[in-house]
Amino acid sequence: MAAHLKSAGYGDRDVTLFSVPEHPKEGGLVAILAGSKKTAKPMLLLGHLDVVEAKREDWTRDPFALIEENGYFYGRGAADMKAMDATWVDAMIRFKQSGYRPHRTIKLALTCGEETTFAFNGAQWLANNRPELISAAFALNEGGGGRTDGHGKVVVESIQVGEKASQNYRLETVNAGGHSSIPIRDNAIYELSDALTKLRDHEFPMQLTDTTRAFFAKAGAARADELGQAMVTLSKNPGDSAAEAIVSKDRSYHSMLRTTCVATLLEGGHANNALPQRAAANVNCRIFPGDTVEGTQAALVAAIADPNVKVTLVPPIRPIAVPPPLDPAIIGPAEKLVAKYFPGVPLVPTMSTGATDGIFLEAIGIPVYGAPGGWGDPDGNGVHGLNERRSLRSVFVGRDFLNDLVKLYADAG
Ligand SMILES: [Zn+2]
């Protein structure tokens, strides 16, 4: 990609490659197209280059070759997120070759390690080590986009404005143990089980951000059912517990309304014929924007209410999720383009229950928005799974959309 950019006219000092000695096969690049207006703050295009593991033997087609079939591009990363990476590089090349001089400086950061815990995370590294290189008024990233009705028609477009933070905790119980032929009630596994049952039944308090309030109002109004009505009611009156109960029946909306914590891994005991000396569980929390890692830990301790259950943080410790503002200067141009490209289709602001690299940029004061444009199907397009695919129309219409969107933002500065 550096070679593509340079052959399009970017100079050596416009393209910075980065990596660290401990991870020689990982790394990324930052490319810069200088703006004409000194007072305009730069904007940043962000994309991760790495993908989730794919097992060749499980796939119908080779996951590591780009295969075009039935109007789709197939291949690991086709949707998450090489289509957008390619779009960003393509846009930077077109801008350069056409002699386009934006008001704002446009920066592109292509990074690594987004999909794998403990990998070398390029976005985090840039934020911590080269913040001046990526400094920007805002960034565009994955996480937004459209959905079809399953038959190729786009029915909704979304812009991601904020996400929850993922943090793991370890619950652990210890016990003197002994011979399993003479058991007693006091038992590390039972004690952990009791704690997990309390965790299952613990509901974190409901919260709204500007984004989720706007989401429930807009997405609710677009539905003609009881759920839609409850979504609208809740957006106006967060205290309406009847509406909350209806909305929370949807597992995604339930998670959009609060911090959630769930047991994901279990270990315990050391022999079939011994009373357990230790039992432990991993608890994965998705922390609501503004809530802290420590506050969530304290809530777990209080919910479990057993001083013998130790609750500790499992690294890596994530920064607090900062919700980006629902800024009209960002939402307005996106709405304008959605109306042009997809007449009659609503643009809905969303808060992701999953996590992206946005959290590392938000930690250094760069609001991150998941851009609309390209779209997926209701079945999820095999993202993180088998036979990942993206429709050709989504890639090419999405490219035109994002080219226009970047220009609207770059010239507005
Ligand atoms: Zn991704």
pLDDT, position 266: 97
pLDDT at 75: 97
Q: Which residue do the tokens 């997990």 mark?
A: 196
Burial of 183 (0-12, 13-18, 19+ CB in 10 A): exposed
Q: Packing angle between helix 392-412 and helix 83-97, nearest 10 degrees?
A: 50
Residue 151, CA distances (Å) to 301, 326, 332, 373, 377 in order: 48, 31, 29, 17, 8
For residue 249, the SS3 value is coil
Position 355 scores a pLDDT of: 85
Residue by residue, pLDDT tens for the chain (413 residues) are 999 999 999 999 999 999 999 998 899 999 999 999 999 999 999 999 999 999 999 999 999 999 999 999 999 999 999 999 999 999 999 999 999 999 999 999 999 999 988 889 999 999 999 999 999 999 999 999 999 999 999 999 999 999 999 999 999 999 999 999 999 999 999 999 999 999 999 999 999 999 999 999 999 998 889 999 999 999 999 999 999 999 999 999 999 999 999 999 999 999 999 999 999 999 999 999 999 999 999 999 999 999 999 999 999 898 888 889 999 999 999 999 999 999 999 999 999 998 889 999 999 999 999 999 999 999 999 999 999 999 999 999 999 999 999 999 999 97
Spacing, Cα 63 to ligand 1 middle (Å):
16
Q: What was the pLDDT predicted at 320?
A: 86
State the distance from the centre of ligand 1 to the C-alpha of 236, rounded, in angstroms. Answer: 33
Distance 298 CA to ligand 1 centre (A): 31
Q: In this predicted structure, what is the pLDDT of residue 341?
A: 98
How far away, in angstroms, is 232 Cα from ligand 1 center? 30
From the CA of 202, how far away is ligand 1's center (Å)?
A: 30
Cβ–Cβ < 8 Å for 74, 388: yes
**Ion ligand 1: residues, Cβ under 5 Å:** 80-81, 142
Q: Distance between CA 282 and CA 311 in Å, rounded?
A: 10
Alpha carbon of 142 to ligand 1 centroid (Å): 6
Distance 50 CA to ligand 1 centre (A): 8
Rounded to the nearest whole angstrom, what is the distance from the C-alpha of residue 384 to the centroid of ligand 1?
Answer: 9
CA–centroid distance, residue 115 to ligand 1 (Å): 7
Question: What is the rounded CA–CA span in Å between residue 87 and residue 34?
Answer: 19
**What's the CA-to-centroid distance between 177 and ligand 1, angstroms?**
45
Peptide bond into 289 cis (omega under 30): no
Q: What are phi and psi of 325, to 5 degrees?
A: -70, 150
- pTM for the predicted model, two decimal places: 0.90
Q: What is the pLDDT of residue 319?
A: 84
